[in-house]
Amino acid sequence: MAFGNGTIIAEREKIVIPTYPESPCEELPMFAENRVHQRSTGNPYPNKVVIKTRQKEKIDKEYEAIRLENEYLELIILPEIGGRIFSAKDKRTGYDFFYRQHVIKPALIGALGSWISGGVEFNWPYHHRPSTFMPVDSEIVKDGDGYTVWLSEHDPIDRMKGMVGIHLEPGKAYFETRMKVSNRTSMRHSFLWWENTAVPVNPEYEIFFPPDVDYVNFHYRRSHTTYPIANGMFNGYRYPDEGVDIRKHFNTKFSTSYFSADSDYDFFGGYDNGKKCGVVHVSDHHTSTGKKMFTWAYNQLSQSWERALTDTDGAYAELMAGSYSNNQPDFSWLEPYETKNFSQYWFPISEIGIPTYANLSAAVNVSDGKIKLQTTEKVKNAKLVLEIGGKNVISKKITLEPGEVAEIELPAVDLSEYRIALEGVFEYEKKNRVKNPLPPFFPEVPMPNEESSAYRAYQDGIHLMQFRDPSMDCRKYFERAIELDPEFAPAYETLGECAINDGNFELAEELLNKCIEVTNRLNTEHQSGRAYYLRGLAKKQLGKDHEAEWNFRKAAWSADSVSCGMTEAARIGAKKKDFKIGLFCAETALNYAKENPVAGPIAALCDYKLGNKSAARDRLYAILDNDPLNHLARYALFICGGKMTEKDFYGKLASDPSQTCLDVYVDLLSAGFADEAYQLLADLPVYCTEKLAPVVAYIIGKPELADPMHRTFPTRPEEKNVLVGRSEEYAKYLLGCLEFAHRRYDNAYKLWCECTNFEAARCRAVYLWKMGKIDEAMAELDRAIAAAPDCDQLIYEKAYLLNHMGYDAKKTEEIIGSYVTDIKVARDDVCTEWAAAAIRAGDYEKALWILNNHEYIPCEGGETIIAKQHINAHLGMGIDFYNNGEYSRALDELRIAQVIPDNLGAGLWHEDPLVPSKYR
Amino acid sequence: MTLIKLNRADDAENIFKYIEGIYVDFFSNMHLPELPVYQALAKIRLGKGEEGIAYCRKFRDEWAAARVRKDSGYFNTTPFFISYLDDAKTMREAYYDRLINFADSVINGTTELL
């Protein structure tokens, strides 16, 4: 198709991509309270997880893609796989400026299991987005002269709404990602946003950070080194004394991440010196502070992962751009009903080389006696000036088409300080400056009993909460703060907040009463309305609507709590059928936060009930103009008789329709629209073919439709209300899961004891183990295995526990072996535990037989565990030979220990696991 | 050790120097917790006996102090989906007891690795 005169393509199309199918998810709930996923909690509840890969079978699979294309760029987007950009091509050069996969090959890196590399992954609310391999909702919208492809979800952990709009305009050789992240829940949550672009790397590839970046950090800012020449220690490795230029990809020999120091510039990127093509990222450095490269580098680990993630597309690195975050972990808050809007931009470059400076309009390279520049929009007769010492060295008119490269020869001049400007396009001044020193390391958090002041204990608790720490419980820090100062009100407030999150509303009310009592000593009008707001939430859940309303309205005396307080007050007003009050409260909320994602639809519903039907619909159309995938607004439009049929409504739900509808159901129910809420769920199985979450089936009175294969477990208080008192065994089991996940362990156990299914037996084992009743736990696990002998997860859990508890090694080896009928198809983790048991038993030959006859696929965090079995087996053999005086044979074994075979899919992040074999 | 038995002391010395110089930072929980003991052993093998013992004692004391810290949730984390959670205190004590015993075996001269 010929492009020009504003032509742009934005359309859905079918594409076929060779695909290794995703394994079915594990049916058992994972209560992995201390699981870590890239330094934040990786607890998957309420989601099921994928634990296996299927890398033996490949099929051609058809995907619905969205093509977004103008004269210069061609983007292919995959709503079915997390809404990622699958490919991005610079049409002038033919260069895929992001790593272009030719296969979908999921491996176990994601928060919930499956993950693929390539293109652009939009990561939120933490690290690799939990929904990275799940469908998102999508909408193509004509937007000015261009188009925006909106990709939206309610995230599967916190139920916040994350949406990115990929925007392309004619005549521009860049694309924009427009983010609209909304906390549509009543509780605050922390979040980060990182655009994770894969770039194709080779020894010629080079990254570039802005000119004021003098150092880079590692994760958690507990290691750093100078940039661009790295010195000293970084992430466990010592650079040579002469330093290493870490801009050059080839110079990084071990898998690592470089997070750039904060910069006053808006750009960074990567460039392939061999292909003379690259990519530039531009975004406001005040909010997009994160600039990062991650690489697998060049070693066995990188080769293992390359095999696991692609067939033929080779190595990649990740150029990651963070908004509201400059590290991983590093989180910001999204308050209840808050919406944040921000943008990032990407564009390809070609022969200009490594940019000295870039903005959204251009990239320029001033080096080697030349100026090379490239613009992203047409530039006509713009004046280019290079000024040194107050004198114009270059002054000429430039005309450029987007992507065209201008090259200007420079006279022999000193380029240590200069100013360069292209009229109306960019201006950059290079100055000599003092380098920024390396900052102090991020401090360690002491244990709660080591805290010496209430405020420090409280502050550390907030840090853990905000960073979603997987190992330390923030509650203990708030408790410590109260221990140190029994009138430390902020600690009561956050403990109350935690209690609400845990579903312990009586406790929350008590704690918040104490907080308000202490704070009210002199002022009943607080600096912040948070305590009243939270107490309102607790009271609402306890059915004390009148008191809740009072607290919400009181909270709204303070500017920080108007939006959330008045949204909740609006719900109560509507629930009382006082739609005037409902409308007033919702509009007040909107006056303080115009993109409050819930208040707007509630205002419309109140308007509608007051008879202002046209105004209600107009209000909803306006909301949907701004966010076409606000599903509460969409369903409200259906209720209000607007242009929205049931088919329209349900037809857009790709991101877990059951869960999305449950979110909207809760919104409607809490505002008193019980009939409409019920109808929303009742129509779901009529219009959607996806599996139905069991709670939805119970609500609509069709328990036979409860699909145990649905990917989620119940978690909301409203789901608990549905399950309590139900007689079905499955409902009791699910309620037990909800209770356990919310730390009400005894309640869970009692419920599971009423169940006969094998899943409940296994969950009882989990409970009993936690209570230290090891023998009883193992007996329950055996009952579960007897009832479901083919359940791989049960076998793995038994194998893990036997090794973990140090059960008789020989017997452990035999027990695990008895479950493995075919080593080729057994699960990787089962084989790993089997080999570990054999090593414990001194049966090294058997361990090596296991390791050599099973083909492992790496999983994040598991690479070293598998490698260690190989190391330990050969180390054990080496020690035996040594003790027998057979030193040559011992040496052979100890050397083999240090070479990890490819079939293990393994590798080492550090070399020190090899130390025992080296020492021996 | 094996190279020494094979009369290749120079090669062995290079390995001990390598072990002595390894650095592990905070981030990776996949490293070898007992590395300092091997580094102490390497120092001793390199003829720096007092330094090696002092080094080992330093870490032993740190581990003894860490052993009695009160956890604020869990003793450690896992990258795997493990639902079976252990008592943090028990885990902490077992973890450090192993390291302390290993260090003691060097300090007391009872390990076969000397």
**What DSSP element (H or E) covers A198?**
strand A193-200
**Is residue A890 less than 8 Å (CB to CB) from chain B?**
yes
How many Å lie between the alpha carbon of B35 and the closest alpha carbon of chain A? 7
From A260, A122, A137, select the one nearest A192 (Cα to Cα). Answer: A122
In the beta sheet, which residues pair with residue A207?
Answer: A270
Distance from C-alpha of A330 to C-alpha of A324, rounded to nearest angstrom:
8
How many Å lie between the alpha carbon of A336 and the closest alpha carbon of chain B? 27
Instruction: Report all structural domains of chain A as residue ranges with CATH numbers, in order of start.
Output: 9-15+65-349 (2.70.98.10), 357-430 (2.60.40.3080), 789-919 (1.25.40)
B19, closest residue in chain A (CA to CA): A915
Structure-block tokens of residue A698 = 């119970």
Above 70 in pLDDT, residue A553? yes
B40, closest residue in chain A (CA to CA): A919
Question: pLDDT of A773-783, one tens digit each?
Answer: 999 999 999 99
How many Å lie between the alpha carbon of B47 and the closest alpha carbon of chain A? 15
CB count in 10 Å sphere of residue A530: 25
Question: pLDDT of A694-727, one tens digit each?
Answer: 999 999 999 999 888 899 999 999 999 999 999 9
Mutation target among A256, A803, A919, A920 for the B interface, most CBs of B within 10 A:
A919
From A816, A905, A893, select the one nearest A858 (Cα to Cα). Answer: A905
**What DSSP element (H or E) covers A440?**
none
Distance from C-alpha of A792 to C-alpha of A795, rounded to nearest angstrom:
5
Burial class (CB in 10 A: 0-12, 13-18, 19+), A395: exposed
Rounded mean pLDDT of B22-34?
72
Residues in B touching A887 (Cβ below 8 Å): 2, 5-6
Residues in B touching A804 (Cβ below 8 Å): 84
State the pLDDT confidence band at B23, using cuts at 50, 70 and 90: confident
CB-defined contacts A:B, below 8 A: 158
| Yes or no, beta carbons of A29 and B83 under 8 Å apart | yes
Residues in A touching B72 (Cβ below 8 Å): 447-448, 472-473, 476-477
Q: Which residues in B22-34 are b (16+ Cβ under 10 Å) and which e?
A: bebbbbeebbbbb
A887, closest residue in chain B (CA to CA): B2
Distance from C-alpha of A858 to C-alpha of A843, rounded to nearest angstrom:
25
Above 70 in pLDDT, residue B26? no
How many Å lie between the alpha carbon of A51 and the closest alpha carbon of chain B? 9
Structure-block tokens of residue A54 = 């299927």
Q: Residue A683: helix, strand or coil by DSSP?
A: coil
Tell me whether strands A426-430 and A391-400 are parallel, antiparallel or unpaired. Answer: unpaired
Query: From residue A38, how far is each of A256, A327, A494 by CA, in Å?
Result: 13, 11, 25
Question: pLDDT of A55-77, one tens digit each?
Answer: 889 999 999 999 999 999 999 99
B22, closest residue in chain A (CA to CA): A912
Percent of chain A topping pLDDT 70: 99
Residues in A touching B35 (Cβ below 8 Å): 912, 915
Burial class (CB in 10 A: 0-12, 13-18, 19+), A450: middle
Q: Which residues contact A725 (CB under 8 A, 6 or more apart)?
A: none
B43, closest residue in chain A (CA to CA): A919
State the pLDDT confidence band at A888, using cuts at 50, 70 and 90: very high
Above 60 in pLDDT, residue B27? no
Contact B74, A34 (CB under 8 A): yes
Question: pLDDT of A90-135, one tens digit each?
Answer: 999 999 999 999 999 999 999 999 999 999 999 999 988 999 999 9
Q: Which of B2, B21, B22 sits opposite A882 (nearest CB)?
A: B2
State the pLDDT confidence band at A1, using cuts at 50, 70 and 90: low
Q: Residue A409: helix, strand or coil by DSSP?
A: strand
Above 80 in pLDDT, residue A29? yes
* DSSP at A472: B
Above 90 in pLDDT, residue A628? yes
| Yes or no, beta carbons of A449 and B85 under 8 Å apart | no
Distance from C-alpha of A16 to C-alpha of A62, rounded to nearest angstrom:
4
Rounded mean pLDDT of B86-104?
96
From A768, A790, A788, A791, select the one nearest A778 (Cα to Cα). Answer: A768
How many Å lie between the alpha carbon of A812 and the closest alpha carbon of chain B? 18
Residues in B touching A51 (Cβ below 8 Å): 81
Q: Which residues contact A86 (CB under 8 A, 6 or more apart)?
A: A17, A65, A76, A77, A78, A100, A101, A118, A119
Q: Which residues in A84-118 are b (16+ Cβ under 10 Å) and which e?
A: bbbbbbbbbbebbbbbbbebbbbbbbbbbbbbbbb
Distance from C-alpha of A865 to C-alpha of A796, rounded to nearest angstrom:
15
Angle of CA points A887, A889, A892, to nearest 5°: 110
State the pLDDT confidence band at A231, using cuts at 50, 70 and 90: very high
Distance from C-alpha of A387 to C-alpha of B101, rounded to nearest angstrom:
69
**What DSSP element (H or E) covers A766?**
helix A758-770
| Yes or no, beta carbons of B18 and A918 under 8 Å apart | yes
Percent of chain A topping pLDDT 90: 90
How many Å lie between the alpha carbon of B69 and the closest alpha carbon of chain A? 7
Mean pLDDT comparison of A37-46, B22-31, B50-59, highest-scoring range? B50-59
ipTM: 0.97
Question: pLDDT of A383-431, one tens digit each?
Answer: 999 999 999 999 999 999 999 999 999 999 999 999 999 999 999 999 9
Burial class (CB in 10 A: 0-12, 13-18, 19+), A484: middle
Whose tokens are 């201006």? That residue is: A427
State the pLDDT confidence band at B73, using cuts at 50, 70 and 90: confident
Looking at chain B, list the stretches that DSSP marks H as alpha helix, in order from N- to C-terminal side: 2-5, 9-21, 35-45, 49-67, 88-107
Tell me whether strands A290-295 and A418-422 are parallel, antiparallel or unpaired. Answer: unpaired
Whose tokens are 């009883």? That residue is: A776
Residues in B touching A473 (Cβ below 8 Å): 72-74
Structure-block tokens of residue B5 = 């038995």
From A37, A127, A193, A120, select the one nearest A328 (Cα to Cα). Answer: A127
| Yes or no, beta carbons of A919 and B22 under 8 Å apart | no
**What DSSP element (H or E) covers A125?**
none
| Yes or no, beta carbons of A891 and B6 under 8 Å apart | yes
| Yes or no, beta carbons of B77 and A236 under 8 Å apart | no
Question: pLDDT of A172-193, one tens digit each?
Answer: 999 999 999 999 999 999 999 9
pLDDT at A456: 98
Q: Which residues in A264-299 are b (16+ Cβ under 10 Å) and which e?
A: ebbbbbbbbbeebbbbbbbbebebbbbbbbbbbbbe
**Is residue A462 less than 8 Å (CB to CB) from chain B?**
no
CB contact residues (below 8 A), chain A span 16-45, against chain B:
26, 29-37, 42, 44
Distance from C-alpha of A694 to C-alpha of A719, rounded to nearest angstrom:
10
**What DSSP element (H or E) covers A478?**
helix A474-484
Above 60 in pLDDT, residue A304? yes
Residues in B touching A223 (Cβ below 8 Å): 25-27
Mutation target among A910, A911, A914 for the B interface, most CBs of B within 10 A:
A910
**Is residue A647 less than 8 Å (CB to CB) from chain B?**
no
Above 90 in pLDDT, residue A912? no
| Yes or no, beta carbons of B27 and A472 under 8 Å apart | no
pLDDT at A911: 82
pLDDT at A2: 58
Q: Residue A388: helix, strand or coil by DSSP?
A: strand
Q: Which of B21, B24, B41 sits opposite A919 (nearest CB)?
A: B41
From A449, A348, A310, A347, select the one nearest A95 (Cα to Cα). Answer: A348
pLDDT at A5: 64
Distance from C-alpha of A684 to C-alpha of A697, rounded to nearest angstrom:
10
B71, closest residue in chain A (CA to CA): A447
State the pLDDT confidence band at A6, using cuts at 50, 70 and 90: confident
Rounded mean pLDDT of A357-385?
97
pLDDT at A865: 87
Average pLDDT, chain A: 96
In order, the DSSP letters of A499-547 are HHHHT-HHHHHHHHHHHHHHHTTT-SS-S-SHHHHHHHHHHHHTT-HHH
pLDDT at B30: 62
Q: Which residues contact A583 (CB under 8 A, 6 or more apart)?
A: A570, A573, A603, A606, A607, A610
| Yes or no, beta carbons of A860 and B79 under 8 Å apart | yes
Q: Which of B42, B73, B83 sits opposite A473 (nearest CB)?
A: B73
Whose tokens are 């140090």? That residue is: A806
Distance from C-alpha of A472 to C-alpha of A562, rounded to nearest angstrom:
32
**Is residue A476 less than 8 Å (CB to CB) from chain B?**
yes
Mutation target among A882, A915, A917, A920 for the B interface, most CBs of B within 10 A:
A915
**Is residue A329 less than 8 Å (CB to CB) from chain B?**
no
| Yes or no, beta carbons of A220 and B81 under 8 Å apart | no
Query: From residue A783, how far is each of A32, A709, A798, B10 by CA, in Å?
Result: 22, 22, 11, 58
Structure-block tokens of residue A863 = 């690479």
Rounded mean pLDDT of A541-556?
98
pLDDT at B25: 65
